[in-house]
Amino acid sequence: MSKTCGVDDRKKVRNIRSIPAHSKRHLGPSGIERRSSPSYYGHMNRFLPKYTTPRNLLSGVASAQSLSLTLLLILFTLSGCDSGLEPPEDFGTGSIDVAVTYSGEWPPGQELNDLRFIAMRFLPADTSDFFRLNEMIISTRLATNVPSDVFRIENAPAGTYFYTGIAQQFSDNLLSWRPIGLYEDNSGVFSIGRGQEVSLDVHVDFANLPEFPPR
């Protein structure tokens, strides 16, 4: 991304106003006196041009000019030397082919609130990690009371996943999920790159559910 410090330094800020030096003035309802001492206005005379023309901008006002240019410099430095937020790099997506086999007796219907394939980019520490939804792949609802299932997940974000398997929601409570079968090859870790296809086998044994949280 190109840098865009968009300041043309040939463009100078100039002033056309010129006011003859003057002596005394009352200003402000709060009674603060703003009378100007002769030395003060003598000082100003050095800075102010004697005659005003449209093209005679800020000439001679050395201190004011340096101050304003300093502030301009601060403004532009702070403001625009990069473009700010940029779209993050797109690591692409791949697809996952999952083959699930089930053994043992399926739980009763009231304990089968939901059933999904889940792949996590992290090792969960407790159930609150189920809220890290943006770091997971979650399938659509899976079929229940079947001996096996095969499905494909398209557009799976590329990356490495550390904890993958089939999860069962055993009540309507949002956090009442538990893993019932895990992907165990390669210590349960798999990676997927842009355009890649990955095949995973998961076995669910209802008589021997995995521990949670994992050790």
Partner 1 sequence: MTRLSHILCTCLVTVFVCTALAPTLHAQVVQGRVVDEAGLAVPGVNILITGTDSGTASDTEGRYRLGLPSAGTFVLRFSSIGFHDRLETIRVGDSDELLLDVQLKERVLLGDEIVVTASRQEQAALNVPVSVSVLSADDLTRRNTVVLDDALRSVSGVTVLGNQINVRGSSGFAYNTGSRVLLMLDGMPLLTPDSDGVPLEVLPASEIEQIEVLKGPGSALYGSGALGGVINVITRKMPDKPETSIRSFAGVWDPVRHKVWRDGWQHGNEYRPFWGMTVSHATRSSAKFSWWTSLSFRRDAGYLALSGRDVFHGFAKTSWQPSSSWRLETLVGIMARQRDNFIFWESARNVLTPGRASFGDAPVEPGSSPNGAPDDFVRQISLLPVLTHFVNSTFFYEVRLRGFGTLIRPISDETGERKKLSEGTVGARYGGEVQANWIPSNRRRFVAGFSRDAITTRSSFFVTNDGDELGGQPEIAAFLHAEERLTPNLELVLGARYDHYRIDARDTEQRVSPKLSLAWTGWSGKTLRFAWGDGFRVPSFAERFTDNRDYLPIVRNLELRPERSRSLEVGFRGISKDLFPGFVSWDISVFRNTYEGFIEPRLVPAEQAFQFINLPQARIVGVESMLEWQSDTGFLHLSLGYTWLHTEETKSGEELPFRPNHQVVSTIEVQATRTIRIGLDGRWISEPGRLETDFARFVTDADMMVDTRVLDFRTSTKQGPFTFALIVNNILEYHYVDRPAILGEPRRFTIQATWKH
112-141 residues in contact with partner 1 (CB under 8 A) are 114, 126-128, 130-134, 138, 140
Measured from the CB atom, is 57 or 209 closer to partner 1? Answer: 57
Binding mask 54-83 for partner 1 (x = CB under 8 A): xx-xx--x-xx--xx--xx-xxx-xxx-xx
**Minimum distance from residue 96 beta carbon to partner 1 (Å):** 16
**Phi, psi angle pair for 166, to nearest 5°:** -105, 130
Measured from the CB atom, is 80 or 184 closer to partner 1? Answer: 80
Interacting stretch for partner 1, rule CB under 8 A, among 100-108, 142-150, 172-180, 186-194?
172-180
Measured from the CB atom, is 92 or 203 closer to partner 1? Answer: 92
**Minimum distance from residue 119 beta carbon to partner 1 (Å):** 14
Helix (H, G, I), strand (E, B) or coil at 180: strand
What's the rounded Cα separation, in Å, for the pair 34 and 41? 12
**Contact indicator for 120, 159 with CB cutoff of 8 Å:** no
**Between residue 181 and residue 210, which ones bind partner 1 under the rule CB under 8 A?**
none
Choose, by CB under 8 A, the member of 18, 95, 144, 196 that binds partner 1.
18
Measured from the CB atom, is 44 or 198 closer to partner 1? Answer: 44
HSE on the CB side for 19, CA within 13 Å?
Answer: 6
**Minimum distance from residue 185 beta carbon to partner 1 (Å):** 26
Interacting stretch for partner 1, rule CB under 8 A, among 1-9, 101-109, 194-202, 205-213?
1-9
Position 192, amino acid? I
100: enclosing H helix or E strand: strand 93-103
B/e letters for 161-177, b = 16+ CB within 10 Å, e = fewer, are bebbbbbbbbeeeeeeb
Residue 175 in contact with partner 1, rule: CB under 8 A = yes
Q: How far is CA 91 from CA 87, 157, 192, 197, in A?
A: 12, 7, 10, 15
